[in-house]
Structures are given as C-alpha cells and as structure tokens.
Structure 1
Amino acid sequence: MWTSARPPAPTRSGPSPLRLAVLLLALGAGGAAQAQLFADNDARKAIIDLRARLDQNAENLRASQTASERLRTELTDLVKQLQRSVLELNTQNEQLRTELAAQRGNIEQILRDLGELQRRLADQSQTLDQRLRKLEPQRVGLDGREFLAQTSETRDYNDALTLLRQGDFVAAASALKAFQSRYPESGYLNSVRYWLGNALYGKREYAGAIESFRALVLTQPDHPRAPEALLAVANCQIELKDNKAARATLDELVRTFPKSEAATAARERLSTLK
C-alpha cells in the first residue's frame, strides 16, 4: 500500500496544468479498470448462466431418460399384459370352440332323437287311428238293411258263417248262439236267427230250428229272409212228421208273401203234401 503527500492547497487561480493532467490520467485509468471489471462480471454471469442451463438441460435429460425408461417399462409391462390377455382369450376361444362343437353334436343328436321320436309318434298315432277306426261302429249293409256295427260284431258274424259254409253245423250253431248272447241289440241279430235255424236244421234239431226261424218272422216280418224262414219252418215240421202244421205254415207263407220265390216253392210243396 502506498500513500501520497497531501497536495498543496489550491489557489484561486485553479488547478495547475500538471495536476489536471494527472487527474485526467487517473480518471482514464479508473474508467478503463471499471470497464474491464464490468466485462469480467458479465462473462462470469454468462458462464454461470450457461452452466446453470447446461445443468438444467442435463437434469431435464436425465429426467427425460428416467421418464422414457419408466414409460418403456410401463409399455413393456402393458405389452406383456396384453400378450397374456390375448393368450388367455385364445385359450378361452379354443375352449368355447370345443364346447360349441360338443354342444353342436349334442344338438344334432337331440334333433335326430326328436326326429325319431316324431316318426314313432306318427306311427303310433296312425296305428292308434287304425285301431280306433276298428273300434268305431262301421256302417254295414246286409239283407237290404243298413246299420252300424262294431268291428268285433262283423268279425264274429263272418266267422260263424264261415263255419256254417264249411258244414260244421255244431260249431256254427255254437258261434251263432254266442253271438246272440254277446250282441243282443246287434243289427245282425235277425240274420243270425235265420242262419242259426239253418245250423240247427243241419244238426237235426228241428224244434230249435223252428223256434229260431219263427223268432225272425215275429220280430221283423218284413225281413227279406222272412219268406225263406217260413218255408224252412214247414220243412222242419215235415221232418217231424207234422204235415198238418207244415200245411198251415205253407198256407201262411203263400198268403203273407204271395209274390216271393218261397211262396212258389210252397205252392209246389202243398200240391204234393198229403
């Protein structure tokens, strides 16, 4: 450190040229130093600011890298999760396809079973209809008359007549008597009486035959076979050697049914009957 001697007191006439020059020189040097000082401070501040910006940029870069790594990790986890989900979905879809295939097979089997059941029901329904039709009364035409008869009536009647045509009078008479007991209200009844009389005549049971023929004439005198029944009664009476009764029956026949073929036969029989 240095000190300078006190300058002499100025005079009223002002500073000397020398002092003025020194002063100006000092002022110039101080301004230059001051300017240099300002320049150094600006540079230092600029460097500090630059370093701060660099540090901030580095920090931002690290933060960005950290965020990128975190994002990459999250994305990786998300991709893995999606892959697992897709795999699970594929597995579930495969299971569903398997189950659907099995269900489709079950449905096809059910449809086949249903079709078979429907076919059987249709067959059973048709069979039942046929049976019901057999059980339902059927319209029958016999000896100029029409009536309703059960299938069993027609069957039993025809079976009995078959026996009679075969000459099995015993079995035919038994079948015709059974028919009378089983179907007392049948439309076949008077025809059964006529054929029963013939079966009994074939068995030589003339009294029973007369009774059956007479029952036909009494219950239905307008029956187409009534004239034949009276002629058969007369034949039975002739077989019983009761010519008087036979003549009376033949007269009744000619009187009641004069235009019938049986009446013509009765007239011939009367001419020879003593």
Structure 2
Amino acid sequence: MKSVTDRPLSHGLFRLLMPLGLSLAAGSSGAALFGDDEARRAILELRQRVETLQRQMQSQTQSQFQAQADEITQLRTSLLDLQSQIDALKADLARARGQNEQLARDLSELQKRHKDVQIVIDDRLRRFEPLKVTLDGQEFLVEPGEKRDYDQALEAFRKAEYPLARQSLQSFLARYPTSPYRPLALFWLGNADYVAKDYKEALQRFQQMLDAAPAHPRAPEAMLAISNVQVELKDVRAARRTLEALVAQHPQSEAAQTARERLTRLPAPR
C-alpha cells in the first residue's frame, strides 16, 4: 500500500503546501540549527496536516457524489413515476376511445332498431287506419280489412267465379252491415244471383240496393236489371213499369236509353 507521501497531490492541496515546501527548502541551509527530532516532528506534523486535508477533501467529495447520486436517483424515480402516469393516461384514453366507439355503435344500432320498430308500428297503424276510397264518383272511408274483403269478392265476380263471388258477397254483407260498400255489394250479389238463375233472390238484392241508396250512381243499372229479372219471371207488365220508372227517374242515364229501346220491343199491355 502506498504511503500518503506517495499519493499524487491534488491541485488545491499542492497550492496549499507549496509555500511550506519553499520555506523548508529555503531553510535547508540552516538545518544544522535543528535537531533530527525536530525535523522528524515537523515532517510528521506536515504529513498529518496533509492527511487531514486529504480526508476532509475526500469526505466532501464523497458527500457531494452521494448528494448527486441521491438527486439522480430521485430524478429517475420521478421520471419513472411520470412515465407510469403517462402510460396510465394513455390506457385511460384508449379505453375512453374504445368506449366512445362502442357507444357510437350502440347508438347507431338503437337508431336502426327504432327506425325498424317505427316502420312496423306505422305498418300496423295503416292496417287499422281508415282508407279513402272513390267508387262510381262517390268518396268514402272504409277500414282496411273491409276494403280487402270487398275487393276479393269483386275479383271473384270479375273472374266469373260466380259461386265464390256469391258466397264472398254474402259474407261481406253479414260482416259489414253498415259498410259504405253495401249498395255496391248488393248490386253485384244481385248480378251473381241472376247469373245463377236465382231470379227471386236477384230481384230481392236489387230492390234492397235501391231502398238503401236510391240516388246511387248504379241505381239506373239496378232498375234495368230488375226489369230483366221480371222478364225472366214472365212478369212483363212489371218489367214495363220498371222501365218506365227508370226513364222517368233517370232520363239522362245510359240505362234510360236502353230502357226506351226495350219498351219498344215489349208486348203492349192488354
């Protein structure tokens, strides 16, 4: 192990000892004035002072290093804490974005479901809301099911499915006794009865139609149909009376023109 004298002196220590060394060198010529013991004591004292100074400087340096190390450790800890906080904030932000995206998807799904439900509700409401119908120049309101049943019965008549038409029209009249379609349903049922050669039934249906709606646009045709039924029943006089009433009550109708022509062909009353 090197002695204290063998260690390199720091610049500050060197400056401190330089005057002392110069003094010793300057006084070397007078060494004879001092004894060996005194010289050794002086050297020992000098060494002690040097060692003391070195220890003090080392202690200060170590304290400074330790303080700097502690400060660096604290800074590193603070940086780690800050980074942890940043990472936590990033994770919270990512979760918030994910939640926002999920909320946006949920909202879009709810809006779509609401639209679908609204469509279903509107469709169901339309099934029960009255419909405006215009037939033979007349306008009226009917229930959706009422219109459907009438249209189906009339479609059967148009297809010459007369048994089905009779059954459907009879069911319609029983189901909707106060329907605005009633005069028309009686009119077409009378025609279906006529085709089936059920003349008495046909005569009754046409007369019910006239009783229910004497001013109906189809009334002239119903009177003309009654005259046809009466001819089939061999009641020519009744047929003539019906045709004459038709001409008198509806002179401008096409049915009245037909009635005039038929009156010329009917046998004269006796």
User: Is the shorter-chain TM-score for this pair beyond 0.5, marking a shared fold?
Assistant: yes
Measure the CA separation in 1 of the matches of 2:201 and 2:66: 121
Aligned residue for 2:79?
A: 86
Correspondence for 1:114 among 97, 107, 110: 107
Alignment of 1:93-132 (within 5 A): 93-132=86-125
Q: Does 1:165 align with 2:158?
A: yes
1:199 aligned residue (170, 192, 198): 192
Task: Report the 3-state secondary structure (helix = DSSP H, G, I; strand = E; otherwise coil) of the residue aligned with 1:162.
Answer: helix
Identity %: 44
Q: CA deviation at 1:71?
A: 6.2
SS in structure 1 opposite 2:251? coil
Q: TM-score, normalised by structure 2?
A: 0.69
Give the superposed CA RMSD: 2.8
1:109 Cα deviation (Å)? 2.8
Shift in alpha-carbon separation, 1:96–1:244, aligned structure 2, 3 A: same
Q: String of CA shifts for 1:79-105, please: whole Å, max 9, x gaps.
A: 323312321331332233234223312
Aligned counterpart for 1:244 among listed residues 237, 250, 268: 237
What is the number of residues matched between the two proteins? Answer: 217
Q: Any idea what the Cα deviations from partners look like across 1:46-94, whole Å, max 9, x if unmatched? A: xxxxxxxxx9xx89x95x9867755654553343233123213313322
One-letter code of the match for 2:178? E
**Alignment TM-score, normalising by the size of structure 1:** 0.68
1:117 aligned counterpart, secondary structure:
helix
- Supply the AA of the counterpart residue of 2:227: A
Distance 2:76 2:209 in 1: 103
Distance 2:202 2:64 in 1: 122
Aligned pair partner of 2:148 in 144, 155, 179? 155
Alignment partner for residue 182 of structure 2, among 170, 176, 189?
189
Long gaps (5+) in structure 1: 1-54
3-state SS of paired residue (2:177):
coil
- Deviation string 1:30-52 (CA, Å, 9 cap, x unpaired) is xxxxxxxxxxxxxxxxxxxxxxx
| Aligned partner of residue 140 in structure 2, secondary structure | strand
What is the distance in 2 between the residues matched to 1:183 and 1:256? 30
Match of 1:77 in 2: 70
Greater Cα shift, 161-170 or 78-87: 78-87
Paired letter, 2:247? V
In structure 2, the gaps of 5 or more residues are 1-48
